[in-house]
């Protein structure tokens, strides 16, 4: 996942806001989980660490599967800047929603 630098994602000190980085990490975990389950997943839990500020740079996030179970998948995600410096790291738990979404929307 590649995110270009947008001033609207910056906080008052001029670096990308941690919440935006957390969202990028969550998306990387979500997509790798959805691909593994070949369907819809939902985030159950995520823990992340911001390691350095990201200023005026593109962000690249990748996720990988650590363990896959019948309904739950554990992932690890990393976010780098355009100079390949590690900005943040996360682990996440995602749940398969197969057979859990009603056709009526309930």
Q: Is residue 81 part of a domain?
A: yes
CA distance 70 to 86: 32
Reported pTM: 0.83
With 0-12 / 13-18 / 19 or more C-beta atoms within 10 angstroms meaning exposed / middle / buried, residue 87 is buried
The total number of structural domains that make up the chain: 1
30 three-class SS = helix
Q: Is residue 104 part of a domain?
A: no
Q: Look at residue 90 in the predicted model and tell me its pLDDT.
A: 98
Range of the domain at 56: 2-96
Condensed to tens digits (0 to 9), the pLDDT of residues 55-105 reads 888 899 999 999 999 999 999 999 999 999 999 999 999 999 976 544 554
CATH of residue 60's domain is: 3.10.129.10
């Amino acid at each position: 996942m590649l995110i270009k630098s947008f001033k609207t994602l910056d906080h008052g000190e001029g670096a990308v806001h941690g919440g935006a980085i957390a969202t990028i990490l969550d998306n990387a975990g979500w997509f790798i989980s959805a691909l593994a389950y070949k369907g819809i997943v939902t985030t159950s839990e995520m823990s992340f660490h911001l390691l350095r500020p990201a200023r005026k740079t593109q962000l690249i996030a990748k996720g990988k599967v650590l363990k896959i179970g019948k309904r739950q998948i554990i992932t690890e995600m990393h976010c780098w800047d355009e100079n390949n410096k590690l900005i943040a790291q996360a682990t996440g738990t995602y749940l398969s929603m197969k057979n859990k979404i009603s056709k009526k929307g309930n």
